[in-house]
Amino acid sequence: MKKKGFQRSDRVAEQVRRDLADLIRSELKDPRVGMISLTAVELTPDYAHAKIFFATLNSEHLEEVQVGLRRASGFLRRELGKRLHIHTLPELHFIYDNSIEHGANMSLLIDQANAISDQTPEE
């Protein structure tokens, strides 16, 4: 019988996300990166590549953040290797996650629709 729950790759991906978030917060000194949030990590089955999804509070400087993360990827990968003990250390690919921004826009639209419906007299 197959056991339900997380697969090993899901647990490793979550550990990669936690460790990278800690490394970016405490070790990365690049001012271009600033305050970012790692939203998800997707690993290939062989752990050769990791897509790191991130969100930033200030999307105006998104290109600078992406350049900073791309330049720091070697350092982050090396430091990640000191923390993780897996057979293959993934190459890091940082991808902007606009779901938080999209959710905020949807919330604003819902609030506007509710405000309009509150102003309209009911029949």
pLDDT tens figures, 84-104: 988 889 999 999 998 777 777
CA-based nearest residue to 53, from 39, 65, 71, 35: 39
- Number of alpha helices (DSSP H) and beta strands (DSSP E) in the chain: 3, 3
pLDDT digits (tens, 9 = 90+) for 6-49: 688 899 999 999 999 999 999 999 888 888 999 999 999 999 99
Query: Under CATH, which number does the domain 8-98 receive?
Result: 3.30.300.20
Q: pLDDT value at position 61?
A: 87
**What's the pTM?**
0.78
